Every structure is written in C-alpha cells, then in structure tokens.
Structure 1
Amino acid sequence: DPCMGSGHILVYAFDVLIDIYRSCGWGERDAAKSILRNNLYGLDIDRRAYQLAYFAVMMKARQYNRRICSPENQPNLANFADVMGADTDMLSGSIRRFAEQFAFADTYGSLMTVTAPADIDTAFSDFMPTFGLNMRQFDMMMKIYKILSQKYDVVCTNPPYMGGSGMNAKLSEFVKSKFPDYKSDLFSTFVIRCTQLCKAEGYLGFLTPYVWMFIQSYEKMRNYIYSTRTIETLIQFEYSAFEEATVPICTFALKNSKVNKKGVYLRLTDFRGGMEVQRQKTLEAIADHKCGYYFETNSANFSKIPGSPVAYWVSENFIRAFERGISIDSISDFTGSQHITANNDKYLRLHWEIDANKVGMGKKWVYYAKGGDFRKWYGNIELVVDWSEGAVQYYKTNSTSNLLAEKYRFKEGITYTELTSSVNTFRYLPPVCIFDKKGPSIVSVKKLWYCLGIFGTKIAPLYFAILNPTLSTQVRDVKNLPIIVNGEIEPKIDEIVKENVEICKQDWNDFETSWGFEKHPLI
C-alpha cells in the first residue's frame, strides 16, 4: 500500500494472507513471520501515520505469534518524513546523488522514483563513519528505495484526493512534469503510479472518488485503463455511503495487463442508508446476478461513446447508436464560447424595464437567452442586454468579459438551461437573441425541428446522463448526442415539433412578462 495511512488495508490483508498460508499447510506462527518479512509493504509521507500502521501490523502479527516482537521480525513499512533534513554536503558522487533524491520526499511520497548505484550498501557503509547523514535517515532511505524499486503481485490503496488548487507549488510542478495527462487530481496520478509498481500479471485495488468515470478531465486516465489494463470489478457506491463524509466513491480492481474479457460492475447509487446497506446489496448481487444492479460488460465498449465514460449499465443497442448515428455537432454550429458581461447588474435588464422602442436588433438593447426555469419548446427569454457601442467595446476589452462571436449572434437555433437538478429542457431560439453560459445555444442547425424533437424526448436525458452525469450539461455533451435521421418520418416529426413550439409560444405570450404579450386570454 503506497499510501498506507494508519495501515487499515495492510491489517485486513494480513488476515487474508493467513488464510492463504493455512490452506498451504503452514502453521500460524511461521505464517505470521513470513508475512511480515515477505508479503506486506507500506509507505506514507506522515510519520505519525507510519507509527500507527507499524503498531497495527505488529499487533495483528502478534495475534498469530505472541513471540513475534523481536528485531529480526520487522515489517516492511517506511515513511518519507524521517529522511528529511539529511545533511548531504559532505557526500559526493553517486552517493550524494542518491541522497539528494529525497530532498522533497515528504511532498512527493510514493509518486517519486528513486535510483541507486549498484554498490549502494557498501558505499554508504564506507561513508557513514565520516559524514553527517545519521543512521536512522540512511536506513529509512534504503527501505524506501527497496520498496519503491520492487514490483508487486497486488497494489491496493486509498490514495489521497487533492485537486490542483490544493497542491503546493512544488507538488503541483512535480505532478505536471511527471504525470501531465493525469494531473487533474492527486488520486489519478496515484492510480497511474500504482500500475508502475505492480507486476504485469498482478492486480490493483483502489478506493477513489468516482468522478474519474465520467468527467472530461479524466478522459485520458480512462482511455489509459481501457487500452492497457483490464477492469475486473467496479462498485459505484451511493453518494452518502460513508456516514463520516459525503463523497462520491467507487472501488475498483484492475488486472495490470490487457485481457479481452467482461468486467463485473455493481451500481449501488440508489441504495441509501450507509455502508452496511451497501455491503448487504453487494452480497445480494453476488448471489443473484438478476438483481437489477449487477452488470457485466467489456470496457472496450466505453471507447465507442464520446468522452469514453464508464457507462457500464447501458445496453449494446444504446452504445450502437453512437456508431450508427451522426452527432448534433456535425449538422450545426455550436460554440463553447458564450457572451459574458462581467457586470450583470449594469448591463442586463428585464425587458419590461426598458422602452420597447429601444429593444431589438440594431438598437441599444437586444434579447438575451440565459437559461431559466423548467420549460420546453419555447420561452424563458425575459432579459435584454446592453448592446450600445460603449457596452460592446467594454465586452471586447475587459479582461473578465467576453463578446459573443459575430457568427453566433441573432441566429435561429435551439437553446437550453445548462444547470438543472432535473432534466434539461430545450427551446426554440428566435433569430433576435444572443446568449450566455447559462443559456448555451445551437445555431445554424440543418435539421432544426428534428433535433429539437429529439431533445424533447425521454431518450435524450438518458444519453446526457451517460455523457455527463452532473447537474451541469456542457456544450460538448449536447454536441456528442447521436441522432439517427429517418427520412420517411422526418416531415411528420417536423410538423409535430412546430406545433408544440407554436402552442408553447402562445402559452408564453399569454402572460404580461412576455415581450409578445398582447392581451390576457380571458379577455
């Protein structure tokens, strides 16, 4: 365990190993000695965590061998803090280069790699009587070096979770340099590092946030796993499964080589009640594969979906739509750049606050799509934005604002509400508007009514839940939605969608808050 903390995984592994030794005919006393010497290894950056792990492992060993607490029975555990502050000024050559590698050991931890000259033991023995590197630091350096330089049958850990903003400058620089494709979080760098510590036919086990399964910034990590490793099992826990902290967690096991096989996946996201409920549901799934939350699939299927999310619960027909269909992006002009005023209080108004004669294309104020409440087909355009010469110049030059590109302005299209806890609702965008991040829009759509019809079905939210299962549907998610055009029914679909838009437009205009309001429907 390269991030052993206080040793929970190692202690549990001790009992597993005892059972293995028993099955091979070993006595418990000899087995406990062999496990300490040959089977368990752990590292941590924190001295106190190391001390707790050392104590926990030794007490577990003593459970099977009461005489095990002797100098020759030392666990293979080490911590990076105890090598800090070493005086290397009097060292030289390869010995000095070896010791200098530990200058930031308590920052890099198990992410670091350590090299040593072939005669490292003899060389340091000659230097020790003369120079200032104390024996404790030397012993810990050697222990860390030997642990990091080996390959293991199993690497199992709960790595630290820390985004780039939480890292200090030195760690951030190191991660960007050594793990440039996996730098989104410290846990993702550790997943990659652990594959380097494991034997080619070995296994890896992790407990991590499940954001890596879906979010774009972890796409390279996902593709690395799909192409070079094999997902054996994965359990996606309910969001609040750990009572101590609300963290979206999954646990997964990888074979450290590529094998063409199906992995096993458990989707426990619907079962609230803490980790005991999750445990029971796991056992039920193992006993009954038809329980409804047990899935088997080959991770190669995930690469067929744009963004390569770990969408293990979808059917093959669902995935096949991406191969058969065309993307929305291929038949529209969809920008990831939106208008940003950087000062909404100054530049935005509700349209009824402005003289209607001053609103419209070529005038001081223009209509502004900015998302809004749940509403399908038409509506929610209540705002106007200052489009005077001075305001436009401000949007161009201010460092925190953004002027929507000209080719996206005042175009017919489809707009939607980016952030929602329900399902996204898509609406017709009349060619009199600009839009911002909260109301992203597709313009110049070749099959506008057909696409709007697809967005209005119950199928589109299912695909968005795969492409991005967060509250915020990004532009790229809508662009990647597959669409299969049926020429025979397309005219009928267009007719129905236009009728829906007209009905909702009339409904919207029945209220005084609409800029198309003429009279109340009861009059």
Structure 2
Amino acid sequence: MNSDFVLQELKLIDPSMGSGHILVYAFDVLIQLYVAEGFRERDAVELILRNNLYGLDIDKRAFQLAYFALMMKARQYSRRILNKHIKLNVYTVPGEAGISESDIKLLPMNFPDQEKAFEDLETLVTNFKYGSDLGSLIEFKDIDFENLKSGLNTENISLFDDDIRKMVCVGELLQQKYDIAVTNPPYMGSSGFNSTLSTFAKKNYKNSKSDLFAMFIERWNHALNFDGYNSMVTMQSWMFLSSYESMRKNIISKLTITNLMHMENMVMGIAFGTAVTIFKKNYLKGFKGTYHQIKFKDISQKDSPKSLPITGNRFNQISQDEFTKIPGQPISYWVSENLIHLFQKETIADYGFAGIGMRTGNNEKFLRRWFEVDAGLFNPNLKNIDSQTNSDKWLPYNKGGEFRRFYGNNEYIVNWQNNGNEIKKETKKKYPQLGDNLGWKISNEKYYLKSGITWTGVSTGKFNARKYPNGFLFDSGANGLFCYDKSKENYILGLLNTKAINWILQLINPTINYGAGTIRKIPVVYNEDFKTKIDEIVNILYSGAHHNWDNYETSWDFKSHPLI
C-alpha cells in the first residue's frame, strides 16, 4: 500500500460472500489495525461497517446469514452498535424486477441530471435482468451514481422505488474499485452453464469462459485499484490447462502473482487440487513470488499444515517471467533453471508431426475387435498398403488402451473400405454444415495407413508410447506422431518412454489427458553420438514388447502359447 494510505479509505469486497465467514475474519483483522492506530474499538466498528467491508451474493439466505454474522461480530466489539441502525454494504444481486423503460421515466424523482439518470437507470435494469444468473460477474462503467443517489433521497419510497434503490446500491459496488478482493468463488464448468451464462461468458470472458471460478478471477482482477490485491481459493486447473493459456498469459504480463499456495487432492476435503493465489494489480518485472505446495500427508489432525512452508516439499521463490519460457506458460513454480533453459531448445514439433486422428461418429457401427469379423475381411499384413487402391474393408486401428510401451494394444479394426466412404458419407449426413471439409471428424487423413508412433491419450498412469507399422489408422484417443526423418523414429520413441518425459508432462500438463498439442511441446536434446546405441536399445525393447504381445491370443499374430 502507499505510505500515505488512510485505513478508513480501504475497501475490501467478497463478491461471493456466502455466509460471510471471510468478511467476519476481515473484521477481526481490521479492528486490530484500527486499535493499533489509536482508535477506540466502538469507533472502529462503525468505520469498518460504513467504509471498509463490502459483500455480494446471489442467494438471499446466504445474504441473511452474512448480514447476521457481521452484525454479531460488530456487537462483540460495540454493545450499542445495533442502536446505530447502520446499513451494511452487503447485498444480494438484484434479478428480474419487471421494470421497463417506460416505468423508469415515470419515477417521481428529481435528479440533478435527469437525462443521464434515466440513461443510467435503464443500463442498471437491463444488466440486472439476469442478475440471478450472472451475480457479481456483472460489470458497470461510467454510471453517475452520485447523480442517481441524489434523486433517490426522497420521502414516501414505494416498493417499486425500493427495487431501483437496491439496483443503484449494488450497481455502485459493482462499478467502484477496491483495494482488496478476497473470495472462494463458485466452481462450475461451462458444460453446466445455462444459456444466459454461456452467452455472457463467451462474450465477456473469452479467456476464462471454461469455468465460473476463472471468470471470477478475471472479473475481480479488473476491479482493483492500481496497487490492489485479489486473493482467491480456486481449482488448480487454471495453472496448467491449455484452455486457460490466454488467461495465464494475460496474468503473467499484466499482474503480479505475489503468493501461491498449491494444495493436493483432499487437502481441503475435496477430491481435486486447489490453489490459493494472491494477485497484485500491477506488473512488477523480476519480482519473485513465493510458491509452495501442501500435500495431504502434510496435514495434521487439526486439518491444518504442520508447518509453513513444508520442509522438503515443493517451495520456491521465482519470477513469473520464467513461466513465459515454458510452452503454454503453466504456473510451474518448482522448475529449475536448467529445465527452463531446456525448453528454449528443440521440441517434438521440430522432429515430426503430431496430430489427432478420426472420430467415426458411430463406433458401434464402424469399429470391431479384430476377432469379431470373418478372417477373409481382415488382413493384418498391410506393410505396403495404398489407401487409394485399398479394397479391404477392415483395417487396423489405434485406439489407446492400457499401459504398454514400444508395441501392443493392437485390438481394434475400423471399416475403411473404399477409403472410408461409408464413414464419410454418414458424417456428411450428420454434419451437413461441414460440407466436404470433415477436418475435425476425419482429421489428418494424409497420415492414415502410414507407420508412426502412438500413445494412450487418456491415462491415470505413466505416459506410454508405441510404434506401429504401415496399414494403421488412428483415433482421437490415440493420436499419431510421424517423424520427418524416419531414421530418428527410434530416438524419439525411446525419449517418449523415459521417466524424464513423464516428469516434464506433469510440468506442462498435469492432467490425465495427453493430447497432440501437449506432446508437440516436449523438449528434445538430440545427440548424434548416442543415436546408434539408442537405436539398438529401442530395437531390443520393441522386439521384446512385440514378442510379449504376440504370446497371447489377443494378438492377431498369435502362433502358440509360450508354455507349449
């Protein structure tokens, strides 16, 4: 804060206050600050309620609980506070009030600037029409609230006028700037949005529209004064997922992450990782934020960490500028300088094309296990197949599967007769808007039937990659990697199956999804001196994996059981 900061001018808001526990805790902190400055407790109580604390929620019952909790906290420090009839700065966000433009113009109120007042009131009514859905994500600009409040100071206020008064009060809270925003925002993925919230998110929160909590981060970062702070308890997904990449870039380039506490699954009693992040409004170049992780085993019986920071746990003080050097700019605070430097070198994308395969649109119709069709309809020996002249109906199909490195999981076949004519025909019928461009359904067709590397796209275990020969097609769940120089294919395959790559993948995308976009970002250190030895080792491992797979009847190359 500025050295000339006046405590009475500090504004703190909880924009999704729930039952008000954060506001109550903030009250205790503020009392201590006022007393330290020489104020009497009873005087400080009034100042805090009038000037310092603000709260919003869409739930009326939550508002009532927060109001009660805050007044009882005030009563703790000032026994006569209930006689003061102080109006707290906590509200429910107004919803549809049934007020029209013509109703506004009939208001028996006199404003210093009547035309501006009616214009601003119309803006409030329009935006609060969906207040119950959008809550404190609504944002106002350039409304003259002093003008509006002057006109509202009249007698004989009707229920209709009271709705207007509430809109003005809440609207002012949504427009003014704050020194501190702090909340545990609601979590809801975009798939759960109703049509109103979905449309609003796509229009106003393009970088954070994937989840409600991310929209709250972005919205309340906007609402800070130049040297203000925003602290939120959220899911960890914004730190890593590609869907939040633009959001991260904006945060890293315009704000400063001063502190981040990263909590493992179940630390807060919920089955996913969370993050408590403090954002400072302005960007401080070179500033080293403090980051640390709390694992479930670090929690004591009192449901709190045994110590902070955790001894031997992930702890680092690092400049967020370093994150820009990592593909996707994940908030990977534990990364060493050597690894960051590694990302400045070549990646998988420099050695081959990695891309998604097809979505048949009807797997029950177009996919089979290889042993489910007549032998005469499936020929696995397609070393030199030409997709343009192929007349075989069923062809090998990569579809992910269990953990298996170097070779295997060759179980599925796909109906690709006449170059996939039947699949393409059904796709065009189902998605006529695509025309002849079936890109997102039949993706990267020029790589079909060519040898390459595949991997299991969704896995809760370690990353695993396999090589396959000509004649295969590949699925959206088992993307393909096709080396520009086939002589380096073994080198890349060996690299992908190392422990180092598993560690790097957890750095750039710590989820269970390994899409082609993520694989393309993996750094490669190519050393010609080691190539011959690596080729030899990978060939041995590939042969061993191939032999192991063929030892069982699930393989179409099965000859006899190894015990016979």
- On whether the aligned pair clears a TM of 0.5, the verdict is yes
Which of 552, 556, 559 lines up with 1:511 in the alignment? Answer: 552
Structure 2 counterpart of 1:250, from 256, 266, 275: 275
Q: Does residue 388 of structure 1 match 2:388?
A: no
Q: CA RMSD in A?
A: 2.5
Please give the alpha-carbon distance, in whole angstroms, between the structure 2 residues aligned to 1:322 and 1:329.
Answer: 12
1-side partners of 2:133 and 2:298: how far apart?
A: 37
Of 348, 352, 370, which residue of structure 2 is paired with 1:328?
A: 348
Residue 264 of structure 2 contacts residue 272 of structure 2 at CA under 8 Å; is this kept in 1? no
Q: Secondary structure at the match of 1:484?
A: coil
Displacement of 1:497 in angstroms is 1.0
2:401 maps to which of 369, 372, 375: 372
Name structure 2 gaps, 5 residues minimum: 1-13, 106-114, 432-437
Could you report, residue by residue, the CA deviation over 1:387-421 in whole angstroms, capped at 9, with x for unpaired residues?
Answer: 22396333344237944543111112111111222
Indicate whether 1:184 and 2:206 are aligned.
no
Residues 76-116 of structure 1: per-residue CA shift (max 9 Å, x gap)? 22222378344652333433332232333333322223343
1:471 CA displacement: 1.4
Counterpart of 1:19?
A: 32
Question: Counterpart in 1 of 2:458?
Answer: 419
Output the CA distance in 2 between the equivalents of 1:432 and 1:198: 58
- Alpha-carbon offset, residue 385 of structure 1: 1.7
Q: Would the aligned equivalents of 1:43 and 1:78 in 2 still touch at CA under 8 Å?
A: yes
Secondary structure of the 1:424 match is coil
Which one of 319, 323, 327 corresponds to residue 306 of structure 1? 327
Does structure 2 conserve the Cα–Cα contact (< 8 Å) formed by 1:47 and 1:81?
A: no
Equivalent residue for 1:7, pick from 20, 44, 57 = 20
One-letter code aligned to 1:335 = G
- Distance in 1 between the 2:54 and 2:96 partners? 18
Distance in 1, matches of 2:332 and 2:229, equals: 22
> How far does residue 516 in structure 1 lie from its aligned partner after superposition?
2.5
Find the counterpart in structure 2 of residue 474 from structure 1.
515
Rounded to whole Å, the distance in 2 between the matches of 1:176 and 1:373 is 37
Aligned to 2:258: 232
SS of the residue corresponding to residue 285 of structure 1 reads: coil
- Letter in structure 1 aligned against 2:453: I
The 5 A counterparts of 1:268-279 are 268-271=294-297, 276-277=302-303, 279=304
Q: How does 1:484-499 map to 2 (within 5 A)?
A: 484-499=525-540
Deviates more, 1:388-397 or 1:247-256: 388-397
CA contact under 8 A between 2:267 and 2:296: conserved in structure 1?
Answer: no
Please report how far the alpha carbon of residue 220 of structure 1 lies from its aligned counterpart in structure 2 after TM superposition: 1.3
Alignment counterpart, residue 502 of structure 1, candidates 543, 552, 558: 543
3-state SS, counterpart of residue 195 of structure 1: helix
Tell me which of 46, 50, 56 is aligned to 2:63: 50
Could you report, residue by residue, the CA deviation over 1:438-472 in whole angstroms, capped at 9, with x for unpaired residues? Answer: 22221244221110010111101011111221112
Q: Map Cα deviations across residues 166-202 of structure 1 (whole Å, 9 max, x no partner).
A: 2222222222222222211222121111112211111
User: Contact 2:41–2:78 (CA<8 Å) still a contact in 1?
Assistant: yes
Residue by residue over 1:464-507, the C-alpha shift from the partner in whole angstroms, topping out at 9 and shown as x without a partner, is 11122111211111111010111211222122112211222222
Structure 1 counterpart of 2:403, which letter?
F
How far, CA to CA, are the matches of 1:276 and 1:214 in structure 2?
A: 30
**Residues 297, 456 of structure 1: alpha-carbon distance in 2 compared, 3 angstrom cutoff:** same
How many angstroms apart in 1 are the aligned matches of 2:348 and 2:553? 35
**In structure 1, how many angstroms separate the alpha carbons of the residues matched to 2:480 and 2:360?**
17
* Structure 2 partner of 1:432: 471
Match of 1:94 among 107, 111, 116: 116
Other-structure match for 2:435:
none
Number of the residue aligned with 1:211 = 237
Per the TM alignment, residue 357 of structure 1 is displaced from its structure 2 partner at its CA by 4.5
Q: Secondary structure at the match of 1:258?
A: coil
Aligned mates of 2:534, 2:57 — CA distance in 1 = 61
Structure 2 Cα separation of the partners of residues 386 and 116 of structure 1: 62
1:264 aligns with 2:303: no
8 Å contact from structure 1 (residues 42, 77) kept in 2: yes
| Contact 1:232–1:253 (8 Å) recurs in 2 | yes
Note the alpha carbon deviations across 1:256-305, whole angstroms, 9 max, x for none: 1111211111212343768944x224xx124x6x5323222111111211
SS of the equivalent of 1:81 reads coil
Change (3 A) 1:340 1:145: closer
Q: Which residue of 2 aligns with 1:142?
A: 168
Describe the shift of the 1:384–1:71 C-alpha distance in structure 2 as closer, same or farther (beyond 3 A): same
Q: SS in structure 2 opposite 1:466?
A: helix
Amino acid at match of 1:256: K
Question: Size of the alignment, in residue pairs?
Answer: 513
Give how far 1:424 is off: 1.7
CA distance in 1, matches of 2:135, 2:562: 70
Q: Distance in 2 between matches of 1:353 and 1:180?
A: 46
Quick check: 1:88–1:133 contact (8 Å CA) kept in 2? no
Distance 1:406 1:186, change over 3 A: closer
CA contact (8 A) 2:366 2:423 kept: no
Give the TM-score of the pair, scaled to structure 1.
0.91
User: Does 1:122 find its partner at 2:155?
Assistant: no
Alpha carbons 1:90, 1:132 under 8 Å: kept: no
Q: 1:174 to 1:352 in 2, by over 3 A?
A: closer
After superposition, what is the alpha-carbon deviation per residue over 1:339-391, rounded to whole angstroms, capped at 9, x for unaligned? Answer: 22333333323323444443144322211111222211112212222222396
Asked whether the 8 Å contact 1:80–1:109 carries over to 2, the reply is yes
Q: Secondary structure at the match of 1:453?
A: helix
2-side partners of 1:145 and 1:161: how far apart? 24
* Cα separation, 2, equivalents of 1:174 and 1:292: 41
Aligned partners of 1:116, 1:371: CA distance in 2, in Å?
Answer: 56
In structure 1, the partner of 2:94 is 81
Q: Give the secondary structure class of the aligned counterpart of 1:482.
A: coil
Report the AA paired with residue 432 of structure 1: G
Distance 1:55 1:365, change over 3 A: same
Q: Residue 338 of structure 2: which of 317, 320, 326 is its match?
A: 317
Q: 2:371 aligns with which of 344, 347, 352?
A: 352
Deviation at 1:311, TM superposition (A): 0.9
Provide the rounded CA distance (Å) in 2 between the counterparts of 1:404 and 1:79. 48
Q: Which residue pairs with 1:343 in the alignment?
A: 362
Is the partner of 2:287 in helix, strand or coil?
A: coil
Letter aligned with residue 239 of structure 2: M
> Once the 2 structures are TM-superposed, how far is the Cα of residue 247 of structure 1 from its aligned partner?
4.0
Taking structure 1 as reference, are residues 407 and 215 closer, same or farther at Cα in structure 2, changes over 3 Å only? same
Which amino acid is 1:264 matched to? T
Give the whole-Å Cα distance in 1 for the aligned partners of 2:57 and 2:563. Answer: 73
Structure 1 residue identity aligned to 2:509: N
